[in-house]
Amino acid sequence: MLTHDMIDNREEILLEHVKTLLRNSVSAKFAVGSIFGDCDIDPSKPIREQEPNPLPDRAELDNIIFDELGLTAAERKEVYWSVCELVKQGWRRRGV
């Protein structure tokens, strides 16, 4: 017999289960790498002179979000360029 506490906890248990599945699938599918490598951008060259060419797995995940946001192709490029520029600026500040 289900108790009230068990019903209340069901959502929490389900949420934790989904989080675990996502963590496991994401960590198994995606290796942590450099944003530059993921986007095929050479940080030693001017970023905006390069065409972002994200890895297929990254593009698949990014496109889900970009589609939901309704971003155009130009706006998607801008996201990749901006993220790469921000990372490069962080490197400079840390003296990397």
> pLDDT, tens digit, for every residue of 68-95?
999 999 999 999 999 999 999 988 888 8
> Is residue 77 a contact partner of residue 66, using CB atoms and an 8 Å limit?
no
Residues of the chain with pLDDT under 50: 1-2, 27-28
The full set of domain ranges for the chain reads 1-30, 31-96
On the 0-12 / 13-18 / 19+ scale of CB atoms within 10 A, 84 is buried
> Is residue 52 a contact partner of residue 78, using CB atoms and an 8 Å limit?
no
- CA 77 to chain centroid, in Å, comes to 15
* pTM summary value: 0.65
